Structure 1
Amino acid sequence: MDQLISSFEGNATAPNDLFISEITDNGDGSHSYIEIYNGTGASVNLSDYEIRIHNNGGAAATSTISLSGTIANDDVFVLAVGGSQATDANATHGYDQVSGVGGVNDDDNIRLYKSNTWIDLWGDTSGNAFTVASKDYTYRRKTQASQHLVQPGTIVIGIVLHL
């Protein structure tokens, strides 16, 4: 999360809404970071957006977090989750909002909603473990993907491991 997405490769058009650009799970404890990118061309008020975390692939959200603030164009918004550990000393990436809900693990999925409409997904909705490690990983959206907003039920991510 220490780098902003500064440009898109290829002939892709700018996204028409926000998307999940990075997920980081710390190797020690239960804290995770969810990064949301705005490449829409204008600042976006987050009052209509929420993150829903689905533990163990469950159909119903285990946690729902309403987002607040404004995200400037070509900038990111970082949500820290993980109970009391969300703001511990390992939160070196910085964050814009904190939630006391539990962190994520290798069979959870995270969904971005706007006005109760599901607009983006990180993870696998089946409940099967899908991450390459059970903790201490960072997943980043591939910038060469032809569509930056992912249809619910698909995964388009890059992997950066910190083993």
Structure 2
Amino acid sequence: MSEPWLVVIDPQRVFAAADSPWGSPMFGDIVAPVRDLATRHRTIVTRWVPGPAESRSGSWRAYFEAWPFADRPAGDPLFDLVPDATELHARAIVDATTFGKWPALEAVTGPAPELVLTGVATDCCVISTALAAADAGATVQVVARACAGSTPENHAKALDLMALYAPQITIV
């Protein structure tokens, strides 16, 4: 197997800020483990960005109606990477308008890579990325201590669900 890719999912202000409706209370706890892992792996950082209003259809229309605070241009500072993430010297920054970052990651990693997933939120973008990547043939490790959920309880539930996909997804 080739050298694994560390994927740091959505280390953005919108998920780090305590006053953000999407802020994870666990975000601060994952900074050090992610930075440590980045010293040992090729690194890709992802960003969730909203797509243009005219492209939203189906469930995305209802989603932005439920979360109007996030209905901003993709370049809004709310979607900026946190300072610790900008220092990771990532080989690539991948923007996606979807929770799951696969197949946008495949454009960088190639097919069937080994991925080490970290980031936020375990119960949204991490799980969406892990399931799609594994289904496409990637080998996925999810680093539990380097992922932040919307709540500690939801983090644990997401890890438990992804563990059901062994050996394609392993929790480490």
> TM over 0.5, yes or no?
no
Q: TM-score, normalised by structure 2?
A: 0.30
Would you tell me which structure has more strand in proportion to its own residues?
1
Structure with greater helix share of residues = 2
TM-score for both structures, normalised by structure 1: 0.31
